[in-house]
Structure 1
Amino acid sequence: MPRFSVIVPARSVQGFLRGCLRSVLGQPFTDLELIAVDDCSADAGGAIIDEYAGRDPRVLPVHLARAGGAGPARNAGAARARGDYLLFLDGDDTLAPDALTAIDRRLRATGDPDVLLWDHERTDVWERVRPGGDGEFLAAAAGAAASGAAGVFTAVERPAVLGVLPAAWNRAVRRDVWCERAFAFADGPYEDLPVAFETLLTADRIAALDRVCVTWRRRRRGSASTTPGRHHLVAVDRYDELLARVARHPHAATLAPVLHGEAARHLLAILTDSARITPADRADFHRAAARTLRRHRPPGAPLPAGLGSYGGFRSLRGADVLRRTAAERLRTRREAATRTAYERYYRLQLRRPVDDDLVLYGAYGSRGVYCNPAAVYRKAREIAPQLHGVWAVRERDRAGVPAGVDHVVVGSRRYWEVLARAKYLVNNADFGGPFHKRREQIYLQTHHGTPLKTMGMDLRRYPAAAAGVSFTRLLDHADQWDYSLSANQHSGEIWERVYPSGYETLPTGYPRNDAFFTATAADVRALRARLGILPGTTAVLYAPTHRDYTRGFTPPLDLERLSRNLGPGHQLLVRAHPYYGPDPRLAALQDAGTLLDVSRYPSVEELCLASDALLCDFSSLLFDYACLDRPIVVHSGDWETYRLARGVYVDLLSGEPGDTPGVVADDENSLADAFHSGRWAGSRAARLRAAFRDRFCPYDDGQAAERVVRRVLLGEDELLPPLPAAERTAAPAPAAAEDAGRLLGAGV
């Protein structure tokens, strides 16, 4: 029987769940079982739990048949527990290093009490860490002597214990006590209030640990506590029941005033929190809270001024609102002074009704018709022709817009009109400027790659990469998304953690990758002919990533030397990162016949289809290219520099299946040798590539764009399921396409 049963309910926390589970399983104290409860989560939470259970026998996965909320999920875990003590941890929180060792030591020192309390710290999206607020009491109680045992006490002896944050995750409860007294979390919001207080009110022996053992994460969006609505009225009902119960306690005269004070403080905090109580619900919440507190008011107990009368509360709150309003007006006047005439026009357009058949697309900062938005646009024209798509394009890029594609120049009068009135907004980055999404609008964020390098809020730890980034604006932008596309489980987890908000993640695959499954042998031959790649030539697409620590396009390889080492029969296609403009050195090498500069070629997907292999370093293109099941060769020359300067999520050089997509080489000579020796397309490279494809291309099957159009633009309830892997057919490799062409020409 383990010492501890750590119970983790998981629902809609896939971005943080791995960190939570690692914080438990990585403890030096190993005598534990981890009961991870999948609360019928629609995200990858259940899969993550099963993954950890497959690696560590201490993990017991529990999958609920229907969603019940944190309370029933914790109860389901407790029912399966075998440990001496029950500990509860939310799926987006973490145990501090060595916490279990400290908890076990304190339990043994105090004779295994009924309940042990510990301190916690709070963190937010900015990773600002603040004390939990219980440290002073816990420090005093940990050194106290009561009931004949050092540091052990009851609630009657120390009524201030009722002031410890009423949470599930800041205490351990002996399992036999839990079962004997039939403790259970409530159903619905504020589910931990009854258990938090009842474990203390009924305990014969309580101990305290003056140590931070849990980091509690305040979520910006998506949790009950950060979603405004009438469900917060449940808190009043919880305290109504608790106050009635404590009034029947043998020591009510001692305990009731303390609990009443805590109830008043907590309810007032909820009432004044605009993230929980809307103006429309404020009067109802105030009346309910005041009624409960008056009904259970112990003799002589004070009632906070804010809960005395609603008129008094409004007067107190009005003074605070007046101060905030004055500051807001000053800010608004400053903004108005710099607002352009077209921006004012945008404000006027926001008053007009939304056009339900209008879609505004953008890509790469409005550079043109590209990437996932372009694939969605094309599919929408095919299966939802009633929708009119318009592209936002910069003035300098409008010449590249394909014929027949309706577009608006960013900053123009019509741009502001379409931005204000389009029902649907589709982008792989952002629209920029003073954009304010209306409640009626639906914003789809498609992204433009699987994250290898750190992104979003994680960039704060990498100053070179974060230069010029406004993280406040980044969060404001994410708050406008309604949907976020995920190319794979890895992406979904990362996006939800680094862009924390209340959007829905759609596991669709990337629409731009549909071309890898719909292209034919004739398409491949035509693309190669257009690029001037001769039949029988091995075309190597080299696509190095942007590096934050270099200026301009500075390829880490000597391209002339590489081309020379590859030798006859090989054609090097070089695509510089879109961040860079035309490079005269590449132009000179192309003029000399050394390589093909395809940096300005409009479709990277077509370049992938035309190539026999991808030579990359740390570009996210390698994740997309894996769909084709063609060789990938990784140039690793400055991996350590890149990893330290930018940070990475996947160790491409580990050599482990699922991490490394193929052959790894560190200079021009070893790269050439990989091709001449055949290792680039050998059996080991194929096995690595298959595992990499399984991990990062689980949804790509040629139908991603249709999934997106049907779910987002047409409002269908369910996503089209991905085809089984055995039924997916990637575009033929160039050699197979050429063979098919010869057979066709011979009439076979």
Structure 2
Amino acid sequence: RAALRAHYRLQRLLPLRTDRAVFTAHGHRGHGGDPGALESALRATVPWMRTAWVARPEHHHTVPPGTRRLTPGTAAHWSALARSAYLVTDTDVEPGLVKRRGQVVVRTQSGTPLGHTGPGLPGHPARDTGAAPLRDGAARWDYVVSADRHSTLAWERAHPGRYTTLEYGRPRTDRFRTATGAEVAALRASLGVPEGSVAVLYAPVHRGHRLLDPERVARRLGPRFVVLALARPSHGGPLEAASDRVVDVTGHPDTTALCLASDALVTDCSPLVFDCAALDRPIVLHTDDRQACEAARCLSFDPCAFPPGAVAHSEDELIGLFTDGAWCGTRSAALRARFRARFCPYDDGRAAERVVRRVVLGEDAALPPLGPDGLVPELPEAGGAAARALAAVPGRQPGALVTVTDRP
């Protein structure tokens, strides 16, 4: 450690490399998320820039060709931190990092803030856990990438600083606009989703109330449906599926790919709802016995009062929403459109490019023109592919996503 500190001090005496950028994600995971989208956009938009990705060795295979792979804690890693002009991360800055004059630090958010962050709320002091390191790091941020006005206000309240907020959309959802039908089909096949099936992604958030039984849900819904269960360690670890219609995707490294491969999301209000809303796929909120809604005083808004789609308060009610088609009915679509207008107005597939042009090239980014409903008018190509896959389910009218009306 002493040798590395000495090496880092020496490297800081050398000139900055204005054509270098270093990217990292929480936990030194593989290439992905908002930093991954920005890294790809940087290589495509500014080809003379050279990029490096910091990841543990077991994730090096995810780094695209042409991007340098760095192992955290090595001399090469600290050399890159000392001499690269641009540092991009979705987590705390590296402990021990000394920001040099001329270095630019770009901080992306891990997701739209659903719960309150920063100073604890009255009666909920635990919400302040981990806020101090972020407040310390905020002094070194130059830019913070924000998806929407809600994220901007929540972030600036929790982490005040002299940084510039770039309210440009979610870079990681750019993939939703560029993914082709063939890519979506390949993703579904890799997960074991039979052709013509309806894939339901079940993504519970960390919370103590009772979970769904994915096996029972899949059995009641019938052979047309496949449940992709994104369980969490606090929920007992990986699932032991008793049938081929429940796929455990807990260890999958790319939640964006899971959203693309799914036809619907079921959650007790995980932050993943904001990503899936940008994809414009049906979302069902499962609140169990309203415990999640009663806990809304810990949230930045009440998801039951402003839902992204249909709401079920029990497992049987959830099954009923899928069997009678209300999960993708007109009311569900209207709720999702309202939710998207608030949280996904700029997700047009060019968010990462806007960030790169502003930070690296100094260009003033032009936000996409919005339609009368406050949304980018065009829908993702991948969304059309999913709709066609759903329309191919036996019993559905060809070419139509919805063939049943909402329940009264």
TM-score by length of 1: 0.49
Residue 476 (structure 1) shift: 1.1
Residue 364 (structure 1) shift: 1.5
Find the residue that maps to 1:513 and give its secondary structure: helix
Q: Note if 1:544 corresponds to 2:199.
A: no
Letter paired with 1:493: L
1:682–1:459: structure 2 CA closer, same or farther, 3 Å change rule?
Answer: same
Letter paired with 2:335: L
Q: Which of the pair is proportionally richer in helix?
A: 1
Do the aligned partners of 1:522 and 1:737 also contact (CA within 8 Å) in 2? no
Residue in 2 that maps onto 1:453: 115
Structure 2's unaligned 5+ residue stretches are 393-397, 399-408
The whole-number CA distance in structure 1 between the counterparts of 2:210 and 2:151 is 27
Q: Note if 1:576 corresponds to 2:222.
A: no
Residue 349 (structure 1) shift: 1.8
Q: Note if 1:490 corresponds to 2:140.
A: no
Residue in 2 that maps onto 1:735: 387
The whole-number CA distance in structure 2 between the counterparts of 1:392 and 1:513 is 22
Do the aligned partners of 1:521 and 1:736 also contact (CA within 8 Å) in 2? no
Q: Note if 1:720 corresponds to 2:370.
A: no
Find the residue that maps to 2:82 and give its secondary structure: helix
Find the residue that maps to 2:140 and give its secondary structure: coil
Residue in 2 that maps onto 1:522: 182
The whole-number CA distance in structure 2 between the counterparts of 1:396 and 1:566 is 38
Residue in 2 that maps onto 1:676: 323
Q: CA deviation digits over 1:458-501, x for unaligned, max 9?
A: 4796344445x2x4322110111111111111111111110101
How many equivalent pairs are there? 387
The whole-number CA distance in structure 1 between the counterparts of 2:293 and 2:26 is 23
Residue in 1 that maps onto 2:253: 602
Residue 647 (structure 1) shift: 1.2
Do the aligned partners of 1:565 and 1:668 also contact (CA within 8 Å) in 2? no
Q: How does 1:430-449 map to 2 (within 5 A)?
A: 430-449=92-111
Letter paired with 2:379: T
Residue in 2 that maps onto 1:701: 348
Find the residue that maps to 1:728 and give its secondary structure: coil
The whole-number CA distance in structure 1 between the counterparts of 2:183 and 2:391 is 14
TM-score by length of 2: 0.87
Residue in 2 that maps onto 1:508: 168
Residue 423 (structure 1) shift: 0.5
Q: CA deviation digits over 1:560-607, x for unaligned, max 9?
A: 222222222100001235xx4997641x21x64251112222321121
Q: CA deviation digits over 1:245-300, x for unaligned, max 9?
A: xxxxxxxxxxxxxxxxxxxxxxxxxxxxxxxxxxxxxxxxxxxxxxxxxxxxxxxx
Letter paired with 1:498: A
The whole-number CA distance in structure 2 between the counterparts of 1:449 and 1:701 is 17
The whole-number CA distance in structure 2 between the counterparts of 1:701 and 1:662 is 21
Residue 401 (structure 1) shift: 4.1
Letter paired with 1:735: A
Do the aligned partners of 1:482 and 1:504 also contact (CA within 8 Å) in 2? yes
Find the residue that maps to 1:650 and give its secondary structure: coil
Q: Note if 1:342 corresponds to 2:4.
A: yes
Do the aligned partners of 1:451 and 1:649 also contact (CA within 8 Å) in 2? yes
Q: 1:475 aligns with which of 110, 135, 145?
A: 135
Letter paired with 2:286: H
1:476–1:643: structure 2 CA closer, same or farther, 3 Å change rule?
Answer: farther
The whole-number CA distance in structure 2 between the counterparts of 1:562 and 1:738 is 19
Residue in 2 that maps onto 1:210: none
Do the aligned partners of 2:200 and 2:226 also contact (CA within 8 Å) in 1? yes
Do the aligned partners of 2:55 and 2:72 also contact (CA within 8 Å) in 1? yes
Find the residue that maps to 2:347 and give its secondary structure: coil
Higher relative contact order (CA 8 A, sep 6+): 2
Do the aligned partners of 1:453 and 1:646 also contact (CA within 8 Å) in 2? no
Do the aligned partners of 2:11 and 2:83 also contact (CA within 8 Å) in 1? yes
Q: How does 1:28-47 map to 2 (within 5 A)?
A: none
Q: CA deviation digits over 1:346-370, x for unaligned, max 9?
A: 2222222211011010111322212
Residue 704 (structure 1) shift: 0.5
Find the residue that maps to 1:457 and give its secondary structure: coil
Letter paired with 2:386: P
Larger-gyration structure (1/2)? 1
1:736–1:594: structure 2 CA closer, same or farther, 3 Å change rule?
Answer: closer
Residue in 2 that maps onto 1:295: none
Residue 523 (structure 1) shift: 2.5
Find the residue that maps to 2:349 and give its secondary structure: coil
Do the aligned partners of 1:541 and 1:614 also contact (CA within 8 Å) in 2? yes
The whole-number CA distance in structure 2 between the counterparts of 1:660 and 1:352 is 53
Residue in 2 that maps onto 1:611: 262
Q: How does 1:115-154 map to 2 (within 5 A)?
A: none
Letter paired with 1:558: D
Q: 2:29 aligns with which of 367, 381, 384?
A: 367
